[in-house]
A and B are shown apart, each in its own frame.
Chain A
Amino acid sequence: MPGTPATDAPPPGDVRAGTLELRGVTKRYGPTLAVDDLSLTVPAGKVCVLIGPSGCGKTTALRMINRLIEPTAGEILIDGTDVRRRPAARLRREIGYVIQQVGLLPHLTVAQNVATVPRLLGWAKARVGPRVDELLALVGLPPGDYARRYPAELSGGQQQRVGLARALAGDPPLMLMDEPFSAVDPITRERLQTDFLRLHRAVPKTVVFVSHDIDEAVKMADVIAVMRAGRLVQFAPPAELLADPADEFVADFVGADRALKGLALTRLEDLDLPPAPTVRRGEAGGDVRDRVASGTLVPIGGAVLATGDDGHPLRWVPVAAIGDRVEATPGRTEPLLSPVTTLRDALSALFEAGASHGVVVDGAGRAVAVADVATIGGGLAAPAEKAGDA
């Protein structure tokens, strides 16, 4: 899903999606600049997540797009047309709007709520009914069961699904979503996010999505706009944002665990891991000491990995404890990692096992490499001494 928006293919022609462009948009409240010279372009059919700490101006920026707030300076263009060219109410009928508290009209049924914008647009009744049913089905609420219910009869997650259907009903080229999934429990949120992505793939609207949750942003966005104190500090696809934060603030905001988030995008096989320092059970002690002395065998913490004849790891053995022959009974070699394990999962496995090193085994179970915390962390300075952790 993350990609370079500008080079991706445009959405299919029969789906309405508009290009959104903000040029030097500024909102001033007295001496305070809520939004300061914000310029960005969201290509048609892409999801742009506006993210930042509370008070950074992300919601103000969003509400200026449908003129719920009028900018002090700058211009906002949808498909090249300034939003101020039309009366605000008319403009808003062609922009989907979803908010955290949903705001369904409680005195109207689910179907009537979804029909709101088509009615405002003056659609014929014969066209509204099928459209409502289509949308309810699209958001996973069978119209037969839900059309005649009232909002108070629905769960929070169901209400937000209706909110989504309502926003899509008029087939708007642009959707504005202000923390739409923040008010529901984490499991429901996850489902709504996934369903929204599925929906977006089927009906690729241009979406501006305000969030304060970096995980949500990484998951949903084609492009993330990080804001701070009214200014845009970085505008990049999620992978780029994680890998290369523009400054300290973005790095901080992305999270102390941004490395971990990035680690989920990389697998052990992508790293240049040192080979496992293996010795065969039964190998002569003298040979082992020779190989260590010549540098062809590099013990870890003074220990080498004893394996069976099939190459399967048996246990870690201190070099100093090896006598005439390598003697090893099967012991503790956890965690065993696979080349396709993501770095994030590898670290998790290491922590779970309380080990500093994990043995990477190939498909046949042979020890092929060793992964340690420093290597996985990439560029982490290794401690000078790593003694006694065999």
Chain B
Amino acid sequence: MSPHDVWEAFNDPNLDGPGQLATHVRLSLIALAAATAAGVALGVAAAKLGGRWTAFMVVSVSNLGRTVPTFALMALVVALTSIGERPALAGLVLLGIPPVLLNAYTAVRGVDPAVTDAARGMGFTRLGVLTRVEIPLSLPLVFAGIRISAIQIVATAVLAAAVGAGGLGVLILAGLANSDDAVLLAGAVPTALLAVGTGLVLGLAQWLLTPRGLRPRTTSHTLAPHRTAPRPPEKDTP
């Protein structure tokens, strides 16, 4: 078996590697978007509105969500609904929420109370404190959560094939069933590359979204007053 065999298997019209890759990416993106929206909303709401009990619940449920075996989760979703794309997405979304939720909650909770006190004391409204102080300061940690979530979703989306939703898992399952390593790898290698690539891209995005004042520094005390080095593009925080 050579890389060529794997490439052949990937392009085999019956297996439709490129199509499965597209499906895989599409499922992952939809699941990630939904998990991010839900995780951020729940996390910020819990942090702003909740007390100790909420904190306990957030942490417990999130950790529980992360320890339930993914396959069991998907099997449960299938058992409760049916096979197909929707249960696969539901499973991936449920899997993707905890890291985002936990990080969003932790980030908002972790904003230095002196900073929010000063912000209120200067005359920010409560909404202003949230949108112009707490959320910008939470972005790096939230994005770290999104990144973890994305990698997990991309890797786990392989299981969507088992519930008939397609994706690169189709090739992996076929390869396993037929003991055909070329087919197996035609599914596994793109999946692995996709996961690694997702991690890198979102890692870069996380760095770019981190306000410069919050980035870890190695030369913080020796910075020249007038810097000449070009600054990387930076999100224009509100």
Contacts and interface: CB of A to CB of B under 8 A. Distances in A.
Interface stretch (B57-65, B158-166, B213-221): B213-221
Most buried by A among B112, B122, B128, B237: B122
Given A106-B137, A144-B225, A89 B112 contact: no
B122 A117 contact: yes
Given A99-B114, A144-B225, A153-B220, A106 B121 contact: no
B79 interface: no
Nearest to A92: B123
Contact count band on B? 20 to 34
B126 to A, nearest CB: 8
Contacts of B121: 66, 68, 92, 95, 97, 99, 176
A107 B119 contact: no
A101 B115 CA distance: 8
Most buried by B among A149, A151, A152: A152
Contact of B114 (A102, A109, A116): A102
Nearest to B224: A145
Provide the main secondary structure of the chain A interface.
mixed
B225 A145 contact: yes
Contacts of A153: 217, 220-221, 223
A90 interface: yes
B48 interface: no
A374 to B, nearest CB: 50
B232 to A, nearest CB: 15
Interface in A318-332: none
Contacts of A97: 118, 121-122
Interface of B: 112, 114-125, 128, 133, 136-137, 211-214, 217, 220-221, 223, 225-226, 237
7 contacts: A91-B123, A92-B120, A103-B118, A106-B213, A146-B225, A151-B213, A163-B118
Given A94-B123, A105-B115, 6 more contacts: A68-B120, A91-B123, A97-B122, A99-B117, A101-B112, A144-B225
